[in-house]
Amino acid sequence: MPLSKSAPRKSLHQRQITCHGYQRDDGMWDIEVHLVDTRSRSTTNQWRGEVPAGAPIHGMWLRWTVDEDIVIRAIEVVMDAAPFPQRCPEVPQNYQRLVGLNVAKGFIKEAQARIGRTENCTHLSSMMQVAATCTMQTLYAGRSPTEDMASRLKIFSSGSDRPPLLNTCHSYAEDSPIIKAVWPAYYVEKK
C-alpha cells in the first residue's frame, strides 16, 4: 500500500540505496551497498564546480566480505562522485579499520569508534548501517529452510542462549506472541 496522496510539491533531491547479499562459493558472504544522490536542478560548489541536474552528487559503493561468524574479512569502498574531490577520496581507506570486526551486537558503536568522527564519511556511515542489517538478513536467508526459526537465528547469538533479537523491536518484545512461540522460556506475560 503506498503512502497517501501528498500536497502539491516538486522533487528536489533523490537518494537511492541498494543493497545485495551474496553467498560466495568459498563459504563467505559478500554484502554490497550502492548509494546515489541526485538533484532535480544543477548545483554548484567552489570545490567541484557545477553538477548538472540528474548527475550524481554522491555516488558510492561499499562491499564487505564476512565469514560464517559474521566477522568482516575484507572491505572495499569506492567513491564515483563526491562534493569535495580534494577531501572525500581520502576517506575510503579508513574503512579498512573494520576488518576483523563482528557485525553482530554493538557493531555500529565499535565501527564508529574505529573510524572516528573526522575520518569518516556521513554517507558511507549510513551505508555501513544498511550493510549491517543486510548482512543479518543475508546470513539468515542462507540458512537451511528446514531449520526452525530459533536455530536459524542462533548464528547471531555470540555464544549466549539468550535470543539475539529479544527486545530489539515490537515483534520481538518479550511479551510478543512471536517470542512465546519461538523462545517460550523468554516469554513474559504483558502486565
Confidence of residue 120 (pLDDT cuts 50, 70, 90): very high
Query: Both 132 and 176 in a single domain?
Result: no
Which residues constitute the domain of residue 167? 147-191
**DSSP strands (E only) in the chain:** 13-23, 29-39, 43-45, 49-51, 56-66, 72-81
- What's the whole-number average pLDDT of the chain? 90
Q: Which of 58, 50, 54 is nearest to 40 (CA)?
A: 54
Phi, psi of 28 (to 5 degrees): -90, 175
pLDDT digits (tens, 9 = 90+) for 121-139: 999 999 999 999 999 899 8
pLDDT digits (tens, 9 = 90+) for 134-156: 998 998 888 766 777 666 666 65
Q: Number of structural domains, the chain? A: 2
Confidence of residue 159 (pLDDT cuts 50, 70, 90): low
Q: Which residue has the cell 581507506?
A: 93
Predicted confidence (pLDDT) at residue 158 exceeds the cutoff of 60: no
Query: Both 170 and 80 in a single domain?
Result: no
pLDDT at position 161, please?
Answer: 73
pLDDT at position 165, please?
Answer: 79
Query: Both 118 and 26 in a single domain?
Result: yes
Residues 18-40 have a mean pLDDT of 97
pLDDT digits (tens, 9 = 90+) for 59-108: 999 999 999 889 999 999 999 999 999 999 999 999 999 999 999 878 99
DSSP string, 84-110: -TTTGGGSGGGGGGGTT-BSSTTHHHH
Query: Both 162 and 71 in a single domain?
Result: no
pLDDT at position 36, please?
Answer: 98
